[in-house]
Amino acid sequence: MNIYLRYFDNETLVYSVEEAVEFLASLQEIDITDSLVAEINEWFQDGENNFPKRCRVRPRVYFIAIKTEAQTLQDFKEKKALRSVQENEAKNNEMMRLTEEHEGWYEGTLDFKRVVINHLGKCEYRDTTFTARCKAKSPKDCYERITNHLKQRVDSRSQFPSIKGKNFKYSYLGKCK
Protein backbone atom coordinates (compact mmCIF):
# COMPACT_ATOMS: atom_id res chain seq x y z
CA MET A 1 0.00 0.00 0.00
CA ASN A 2 1.32 3.44 -0.99
CA ILE A 3 0.35 6.98 0.02
CA TYR A 4 -0.69 9.85 -2.23
CA LEU A 5 -0.08 13.24 -0.57
CA ARG A 6 -1.36 16.62 -1.68
CA TYR A 7 -0.88 20.06 -0.19
CA PHE A 8 -2.19 22.78 -2.52
CA ASP A 9 -0.14 22.35 -5.74
CA ASN A 10 2.43 20.02 -4.15
CA GLU A 11 1.70 16.34 -4.62
CA THR A 12 3.57 13.07 -4.58
CA LEU A 13 3.21 9.32 -4.26
CA VAL A 14 5.33 7.73 -1.53
CA TYR A 15 5.85 4.14 -0.47
CA SER A 16 6.13 4.50 3.32
CA VAL A 17 5.26 6.76 6.23
CA GLU A 18 8.91 7.81 6.51
CA GLU A 19 8.91 9.04 2.89
CA ALA A 20 5.62 10.84 3.58
CA VAL A 21 7.16 12.65 6.56
CA GLU A 22 10.21 13.57 4.42
CA PHE A 23 7.96 15.07 1.76
CA LEU A 24 5.92 17.01 4.29
CA ALA A 25 9.11 18.26 6.00
CA SER A 26 10.32 19.59 2.64
CA LEU A 27 7.30 21.88 2.55
CA GLN A 28 8.20 24.94 4.61
CA GLU A 29 4.62 25.71 5.66
CA ILE A 30 4.07 22.38 7.43
CA ASP A 31 5.41 21.98 10.95
CA ILE A 32 6.24 18.30 11.56
CA THR A 33 5.43 17.26 15.14
CA ASP A 34 5.56 13.90 16.86
CA SER A 35 1.77 13.88 17.13
CA LEU A 36 1.43 14.48 13.35
CA VAL A 37 3.83 11.62 12.59
CA ALA A 38 1.95 9.36 15.02
CA GLU A 39 -1.40 10.35 13.47
CA ILE A 40 -0.20 9.52 9.93
CA ASN A 41 1.41 6.26 11.09
CA GLU A 42 -1.74 5.16 12.93
CA TRP A 43 -3.92 5.95 9.90
CA PHE A 44 -1.57 4.10 7.56
CA GLN A 45 -1.31 1.00 9.80
CA ASP A 46 -5.12 0.72 10.16
CA GLY A 47 -5.81 -1.86 7.44
CA GLU A 48 -9.59 -1.46 7.52
CA ASN A 49 -9.58 2.33 7.08
CA ASN A 50 -9.28 3.18 3.38
CA PHE A 51 -10.77 6.65 3.66
CA PRO A 52 -8.67 9.70 2.78
CA LYS A 53 -6.97 11.38 5.73
CA ARG A 54 -7.22 15.13 6.16
CA CYS A 55 -4.49 16.48 8.46
CA ARG A 56 -4.63 19.99 9.85
CA VAL A 57 -1.67 22.29 9.20
CA ARG A 58 -3.25 25.40 10.75
CA PRO A 59 -6.83 26.66 11.05
CA ARG A 60 -8.72 25.91 7.80
CA VAL A 61 -5.58 24.62 6.05
CA TYR A 62 -5.08 20.87 5.54
CA PHE A 63 -3.12 18.37 3.50
CA ILE A 64 -4.69 15.18 2.15
CA ALA A 65 -3.32 11.63 2.35
CA ILE A 66 -4.88 8.75 0.39
CA LYS A 67 -3.95 5.06 0.53
CA THR A 68 -3.56 3.53 -2.92
CA GLU A 69 -2.29 0.48 -4.74
CA ALA A 70 -0.90 2.69 -7.55
CA GLN A 71 2.80 2.30 -8.21
CA THR A 72 3.31 5.71 -9.84
CA LEU A 73 1.74 9.14 -9.57
CA GLN A 74 0.53 8.83 -13.17
CA ASP A 75 -1.25 5.54 -12.36
CA PHE A 76 -2.92 7.21 -9.40
CA LYS A 77 -4.11 10.13 -11.50
CA GLU A 78 -5.51 7.77 -14.11
CA LYS A 79 -7.27 5.89 -11.29
CA LYS A 80 -5.79 2.58 -12.38
CA ALA A 81 -5.20 1.26 -8.89
CA LEU A 82 -7.86 2.77 -6.64
CA ARG A 83 -9.40 -0.63 -6.18
CA SER A 84 -7.80 -4.01 -6.24
CA VAL A 85 -7.98 -6.28 -9.26
CA GLN A 86 -10.21 -8.71 -7.34
CA GLU A 87 -12.76 -5.96 -6.60
CA ASN A 88 -12.77 -4.93 -10.27
CA GLU A 89 -13.30 -8.54 -11.35
CA ALA A 90 -16.15 -8.91 -8.85
CA LYS A 91 -17.80 -5.78 -10.26
CA ASN A 92 -17.40 -7.09 -13.81
CA ASN A 93 -18.95 -10.42 -12.78
CA GLU A 94 -21.86 -8.59 -11.13
CA MET A 95 -22.48 -6.53 -14.26
CA MET A 96 -22.35 -9.69 -16.40
CA ARG A 97 -24.90 -11.29 -14.08
CA LEU A 98 -27.19 -8.28 -14.44
CA THR A 99 -27.08 -8.38 -18.24
CA GLU A 100 -27.15 -12.17 -18.64
CA GLU A 101 -30.32 -13.14 -20.49
CA HIS A 102 -32.56 -15.53 -18.58
CA GLU A 103 -36.11 -14.87 -19.68
CA GLY A 104 -38.84 -15.29 -17.10
CA TRP A 105 -40.56 -13.68 -14.16
CA TYR A 106 -38.54 -11.36 -11.92
CA GLU A 107 -39.36 -9.57 -8.72
CA GLY A 108 -37.49 -6.29 -8.48
CA THR A 109 -37.32 -3.94 -5.51
CA LEU A 110 -36.14 -0.37 -5.94
CA ASP A 111 -35.40 2.12 -3.14
CA PHE A 112 -35.51 5.62 -4.62
CA LYS A 113 -35.92 9.29 -3.70
CA ARG A 114 -39.41 10.37 -4.65
CA VAL A 115 -40.34 14.05 -4.95
CA VAL A 116 -43.49 14.97 -3.03
CA ILE A 117 -45.07 18.41 -2.81
CA ASN A 118 -45.69 19.22 0.88
CA HIS A 119 -48.52 21.29 2.37
CA LEU A 120 -46.51 24.50 1.83
CA GLY A 121 -46.16 23.78 -1.89
CA LYS A 122 -42.47 22.97 -1.60
CA CYS A 123 -40.72 19.84 -2.86
CA GLU A 124 -39.43 17.18 -0.48
CA TYR A 125 -37.52 14.01 -1.21
CA ARG A 126 -38.96 10.92 0.46
CA ASP A 127 -37.32 7.52 0.59
CA THR A 128 -39.69 5.19 -1.22
CA THR A 129 -39.55 1.44 -1.78
CA PHE A 130 -41.27 0.02 -4.83
CA THR A 131 -41.59 -3.69 -5.58
CA ALA A 132 -42.95 -5.18 -8.79
CA ARG A 133 -43.13 -8.51 -10.55
CA CYS A 134 -42.62 -8.44 -14.27
CA LYS A 135 -41.69 -10.54 -17.26
CA ALA A 136 -38.17 -9.67 -18.31
CA LYS A 137 -35.23 -11.01 -20.28
CA SER A 138 -32.62 -10.17 -17.64
CA PRO A 139 -32.22 -8.39 -14.31
CA LYS A 140 -31.22 -5.28 -16.27
CA ASP A 141 -34.43 -5.50 -18.29
CA CYS A 142 -36.39 -5.86 -15.03
CA TYR A 143 -34.70 -2.72 -13.65
CA GLU A 144 -35.44 -0.77 -16.84
CA ARG A 145 -39.10 -1.84 -16.87
CA ILE A 146 -39.56 -0.78 -13.24
CA THR A 147 -37.85 2.61 -13.70
CA ASN A 148 -39.74 3.32 -16.92
CA HIS A 149 -43.00 2.51 -15.13
CA LEU A 150 -42.14 4.81 -12.23
CA LYS A 151 -40.93 7.66 -14.45
CA GLN A 152 -44.43 7.84 -15.95
CA ARG A 153 -46.08 8.01 -12.52
CA VAL A 154 -43.88 10.11 -10.24
CA ASP A 155 -42.47 13.63 -10.42
CA SER A 156 -39.66 13.93 -12.98
CA ARG A 157 -37.31 15.25 -10.27
CA SER A 158 -37.38 11.90 -8.46
CA GLN A 159 -34.00 10.20 -8.24
CA PHE A 160 -33.51 6.55 -9.16
CA PRO A 161 -30.52 4.48 -8.01
CA SER A 162 -27.99 2.77 -10.20
CA ILE A 163 -28.67 -0.83 -11.20
CA LYS A 164 -25.27 -1.73 -9.67
CA GLY A 165 -26.01 -0.19 -6.29
CA LYS A 166 -27.46 -1.65 -3.13
CA ASN A 167 -30.83 0.04 -3.72
CA PHE A 168 -31.88 -2.37 -6.45
CA LYS A 169 -32.57 -5.99 -5.55
CA TYR A 170 -34.07 -8.67 -7.71
CA SER A 171 -34.93 -12.32 -7.64
CA TYR A 172 -35.70 -14.71 -10.47
CA LEU A 173 -39.10 -16.30 -9.91
CA GLY A 174 -39.24 -18.76 -12.79
CA LYS A 175 -39.82 -19.22 -16.48
CA CYS A 176 -42.68 -17.65 -18.38
CA LYS A 177 -45.49 -19.94 -19.52
C-alpha 19/C-alpha 1 separation (Å) is 13
pLDDT confidence tier of residue 107, bands split at 50, 70 and 90: very high
pLDDT at 82: 54
Q: 20 and 75: one domain?
A: yes
Q: Judge if 19 and 58 occupy the same domain.
A: yes
Within a domain: residue 95? no
- Residue 156, in any domain of the structure: yes
- Compute the average pLDDT of residues 77-96: 67
Confidence of residue 86 (pLDDT cuts 50, 70, 90): low
25 shares its domain with 58: yes
- Give me the percent of the chain exceeding a pLDDT of 70: 93
Clarify whether residues 14 and 47 are in a common domain.
Answer: yes
Q: Which of 50 and 171 is assigned the larger pLDDT?
A: 171
Cα–Cα distance, 115 to 163 (Å, whole number) = 20
Identity at 141, one-letter amino acid code: D
In a domain, residue 63? The reply is yes
pLDDT in tens, 30-68: 888 898 899 988 888 887 777 888 988 888 899 999 988
Tell me, what DSSP letter sits at residue 69?
Answer: -
Q: Is the pLDDT of residue 72 over 70?
A: yes
Would you say residue 89 has pLDDT above 90? Answer: no
- Asked if pLDDT for residue 83 goes beyond 60, the answer is no
User: Is the pLDDT reported for residue 150 higher than 70?
Assistant: yes
Burial state string for 114-151 with b = 16 or more CB within 10 A and e = fewer than 16: beeeeeeeeeeeeeeebeeeeebbbbbbbbebbbeebe
What is the overall mean pLDDT for the chain? 86
Instruction: Check residue 74 and give its pLDDT.
Output: 83
Per-residue model confidence (pLDDT) at position 152: 92
State yes or no: pLDDT of 84 exceeds 60.
no
Predicted TM-score (pTM) of the model is: 0.51
Give the domain extent around 126: 102-174
